[in-house]
Amino acid sequence: MQVEDLTGRGLQDLKDGILRTPLEPEKTFLDDPLRCLRMIRFASNFNFIIDKAAMEAMDRKEIRVALDRKISRERIGSEFRKIILGKNPIYGLSLLNTVEFYNIFGFGEKEMGEEKVVKPVNMDERAMNSLISDGIKASLSDIVASLPVIKDFVFDHSGAYNRLKSLFGEPFRNDLSTLAFYCSLILNKWNNETVIQTDDYRSEEKTTGKKRKGKKVKPTSAAHLIVLQGLKMPMKDANLISLIVSGMEEFGIRFRDYKNMSRSEIALKLIIPYGENWRLNLLVYFILRNFKHMELIEDTSNSIEEFLDMCEKLDLEYAYKETVMVNGRELINSLKRKPGPWLRQINGILLEWQLDHPNCTKQQVVEYAQKLDI
């Protein structure tokens, strides 16, 4: 069996770590735009350099349009996923940034001619389009330039920041954590923005001349829609990434006041909403804070280290597993009341009380419940 070398320098390129197309790159990519993402994936996995001619061809607007129009979002999302889960995701993101493939982080509304309209709820369309292009560009640039610097700062302090160092293992617990970490950083500028998507039936209008009004759906998190429809990731991925991105601004406000919080407030505001991923959320906050204020990295690192130390001393690391000791049936019998909305309300109050009284007994919870006027 023989392998045909269409470039005439394949073996040398392998030795030199160079990737190039066997035929003219622009035609190669226009014929199948997915080849661009595959080349980027191979380069990032094997730390190869992409030939200058291939990079210049990828950077052409026609290639970006073809990728958006001709390739399904499932195939685009699959290649992106492999880049992130590969050996050098930061290098892969650097290449995506260089060729300006920002539309892969769009809403998937132009997939293979199936056009839909996505409208922002709290901003104008110009601002929304800017987030898709300039916002993604800024985020990718931050990841490539600053993420390694931040990590080096933390790990170069021997004997210090041991708890903070452990946070850097969170993205590698499983594939979901890895994807959520990088996607949350990439999409962070969307914050809690929401959008409304409607079917526009433009392709039908072009062929029949008749225009149908699209069916509106309720507003959804922009980050959620990008992950679910733009990158075609599973719902659990979209839910986690949206939770982190949409709640980050509020989390930052709350975190700055953690030293003045009670045990229950720390748990209910900074840990429980994120479940087992609360440490991943904290790491994303730490990274984003330093992207914005790198000059304060030492203060931010100290703050995170102190917070983790406090969580350990207060035994809050698994607070997300905490449940009310008394179940609904027991409450109904103890309080001699019929089931109703009050149950949900009292459960919230009892959980808060339990968190502030970590050594309480089940009987004490019942006695406290009996004192409540609900």
Listing DSSP states for 200-248 in one string gives: --HHHHHHHS---PPPB---EEHHHHIIIIIS---HHHHHHHHHHHHHH
Q: Which helix (H) or strand (E) holds 304?
A: helix 297-313
CA 85, 288, 143, 165 torsion-angle sign? negative
Q: Tell me the CATH number at 97.
A: 1.10.110.30
Residue that is written with structure tokens 């650097």 in the block:
94
Record the pTM.
0.91
Between CA 29 and CA 315 the distance in angstroms is 55
In a domain, 237, yes or no: no
In a domain, 120, yes or no: no
49-50 and 116-120 as β-strands: parallel, antiparallel, unpaired? unpaired
Sequence-separated (6 or more) residues with CB below 8 Å from residue 81: 179, 231, 233
Using DSSP, state whether 22 is helix, strand or coil.
Answer: coil
How far is Cα of residue 321 from the mean position of the Cα atoms in its chain? 23
Q: Which one, of 81, 76, 71, 79, lies nearest residue 111 by Cα? A: 71
Instruction: Encode pLDDT of 301-318 as tens digits.
Output: 999 999 999 999 999 999
Between CA 354 and CA 362 the distance in angstroms is 10
In a domain, 258, yes or no: no
The CA-atom distances, in angstroms, between 349 and each of 115, 332, 337 are 48, 15, 17
Between CA 44 and CA 83 the distance in angstroms is 7
Two structure tokens written together for 356:
């502030």
In a domain, 107, yes or no: no
Picking from 102, 135, 151, the residue at the C-terminal end of a domain is 102
Question: What residues make up the domain containing 10?
Answer: 1-102
Partners of 283 in the β-ladder: none
In a domain, 75, yes or no: yes
> Average model confidence (pLDDT) for the chain?
91
Eight-state DSSP code of residue 182: H
Mean per-residue pLDDT for 286-307? 98
- Burial of residue 133, with CB atoms counted within 10 A of its CB: 0-12 exposed, 13-18 middle, 19 or more buried: middle
Mean per-residue pLDDT for 151-169? 96
Residue 316: per-residue pLDDT: 98
Residue 11: per-residue pLDDT: 62
Higher-scoring residue by pLDDT: 140, 128: 140
Compute the chain's Rg from CA coordinates: 25
Picking from 71, 102, 133, the residue at the C-terminal end of a domain is 102
Residue 201: per-residue pLDDT: 46
Residue 373: per-residue pLDDT: 83
Give the percent of the chain with pLDDT over 70.
90
In a domain, 315, yes or no: no
In a domain, 11, yes or no: yes
The number of distinct structural domains making up the chain is 2
Give the percent of the chain with pLDDT over 90.
78
The CA-atom distances, in angstroms, between 287 and each of 70, 290, 301, 304 are 35, 5, 10, 11
The type of residue at 19 is L
Mean per-residue pLDDT for 334-356? 93
The CA-atom distances, in angstroms, between 300 and each of 161, 185, 253 are 11, 17, 14
Picking from 72, 102, 132, the residue at the C-terminal end of a domain is 102
The type of residue at 77 is G
Instruction: Encode pLDDT of 189-239 as tens digits.
Output: 999 999 998 765 444 455 555 555 555 578 999 999 999 999 999 999 999
Instruction: Encode pLDDT of 320-341 as tens digits.
Output: 999 999 999 999 999 888 898 9
In a domain, 217, yes or no: no
